[in-house]
Structure 1
Amino acid sequence: MVRVRVRQHVNPLCQKYQAPVILPDWSKIYDNLQQPLHLDIGCGRGRFLGQFAQLESNWNFLGLEIRQPLVTEANCWRDQQGLTNLHYLFCNANISIEPILASLPEGVLKRVSIQFPDPWFKKRHQKRRVVQPELVENLARYLGKGGEVFLQSDVEEVEIEMCDRFSEHSAFHRTQNDWLTENPLPVPTERELSTLDRGEPVYRALFIK
């Protein structure tokens, strides 16, 4: 499959990304809709989630991505692999997270990952960052008891801000104060591998509801 060229950064506050998500019929997406669900917010090309879905067939996996060409490409790849526990959805997570989670069976969301989100370094652009209080509130509402939220970034400032947002919510507690030295998930992202190959640090944290 030919890789689609897309913009690396997309402004989520742009008017074109304010439209409500088009929800699929989940019963036609997943073979077993009652399996625990792993939600990956900002899944990019989706290869991390695709590998994970192949490893854990007793879980369902859902990737959210704001760049539509990547979603189309990822779902084509999913179909080629014949995976029935995986789906990619085009949406603005900050706009659509609540209707997405409300449309799923109660309690199935068990794990969330947010990995290497766009850092938006300029202060006036930081309101574009994906981890906003409203997103944390919605995850607190729909994540099952004992569910996990895994955060990682190669930008310490961004990771600190994400951790602060989750720490400020009473539903979540961080498993340790220091950065995790190892990724608790069995599959690394392409960005994680490239960062480590350059000898640069990756900042990781795990929260439990």
Structure 2
Amino acid sequence: MSLPQKKYYRQRAHSNPIADHCFEYPASPDDYDWSTLYPIIKTNTLNKNNFVEFLDVGCGYGGLLVTLSPMFKESLILGLEIRVKVSDYVNDRIQALRKQNENEYQNIAVLRTNAMKYLPNFFRKGQLKKMFFLYPDPHFKKAKHKWRIINKWLLSEYAYVLAEQGIVYTITDVKDLHEWMVSHFEEHPLFERISDDELESDIIVEKLFESTEEGQKVTRNNGEKFLAVFRRVCDKINQKVT
């Protein structure tokens, strides 16, 4: 089975996340059958609870998923993508990789949904260990800033689904968007920025620059890339108890 070709799955780069789309979603995380995305769950060889632990929000054509799969074989990794054709491409890519590489790429999958609306329907409190926001849509016009995937309301949802000490990775080639994301994370009481010194030992960081199609495009155009990584801090109530 050959890998799919992107030229047959091209779609507009931008999608209105506020508009109504046709999505199926569970009433609660317990209602979703993850074995439909990860057949390996049936063998129970991954993490004890078979919960998704890494989440790439707006995964595009799946470059990060494919990169992380062999690095974290015991973790379920999921990409979310709102665009129909792009999510179809990622799914077809994963299926082809599984057929070409026996017992490999079993821990990655893609789900078409709207992360701005349905995260709590799919993920439990404190479930995720890592979240990724790589080259998100900048929505340049001020009137569309409410469409940005990072805002003060959504950060509270991300804090809900992230485990304490969980990590959020952000990267963009748009300086204004980088500053927007940094300011919103730094203003939120449940996140703290991770220093550059600490990031030097993080094996994921170097993969964020070139693993995605968008990142490779920025490199070809000699553009800048702005990285910021944040930690989900402990809830204050838990800090008082300890």
Q: Please indicate, yes or no, whether the TM-score normalized by the shorter chain is above 0.5.
A: yes
- For the residue of structure 1 that corresponds to 2:184, the secondary structure is helix
Equivalent in the alignment of 2:69: 53
Partner of 1:124: 143
The alignment's TM-score, normalised by the length of structure 1, stands at 0.86
The 3-state SS of whatever aligns with 1:15 is: coil
Instruction: State the match for 1:202 in structure 2.
Output: 225
The alpha-carbon deviation at position 28 of structure 1 amounts to 4.1
Structure 1 157/7 Cα, relative in aligned 2: closer, same or farther at 3 Å? same
1:39-76 deviations in Å (ceiling 9; x for gaps) = 11111111221221133212211111110111122112
For residues 85 and 124 of structure 1, the distance between their equivalents in structure 2, rounded to whole angstroms, comes to 39
Task: Say whether 1:184 aligns with 2:200.
Answer: no
Separation in structure 1 between the aligned mates of residue 155 and residue 24 of structure 2, nearest angstrom: 19
Any idea what SS the aligned residue of 2:169 has?
strand
Q: Are 1:110 and 2:129 counterparts?
A: yes
* SS of equivalent to 1:61: strand
1:107 Cα deviation from its structure 2 partner = 4.1
The correspondence for 2:174, drawn from 155, 159, 166, is: 155
**Does the aligned pair in 2 maintain the 1:46–1:74 contact within 8 Å?**
yes
Following TM superposition, by how much is the alpha carbon of 1:147 offset from its aligned partner in structure 2, in angstroms? 0.9
Percentage of matched positions with identical amino acids: 28
Q: Distance in 2 between matches of 1:195 and 1:186?
A: 14
Paired AA for residue 212 in structure 2:
T
Aligned-residue offset at 1:152:
0.7
1:10 paired to 2:33: no
* Cα 1:64/1:12, change in 2 over 3 Å: same
Letter in 1 for 2:172: S
Is 1:25 aligned with 2:29?
no
Give 1:197 deviation, angstroms: 3.4
Give the C-alpha shift of residue 174 in structure 1.
0.3
Unaligned stretches of 5+ residues in structure 1: none
Residue 62 of structure 1 is matched in structure 2 by 78
Amino acid of the structure 2 residue aligned with 1:29: L
What is the number of equivalent residue pairs in this alignment? Answer: 204
TM-score by length of 2: 0.75
Alpha-carbon distance between aligned partners in 2 of 1:10 and 1:63, rounded to the nearest angstrom: 17
Instruction: Call closer, same or farther: CA 1:123–1:137 in 2, change over 3 Å.
Output: same
TM-aligned CA deviation for residue 29 of structure 1? 3.0
Q: How far, CA to CA, are the matches of 1:5 and 1:66 in structure 2?
A: 13
Unaligned runs of 5+ in 2: 99-104, 233-242
CA 96–35 in structure 1, closer or farther in 2 if over 3 Å, else same: closer
Which of 58, 63, 78 does residue 42 from structure 1 map onto? 58
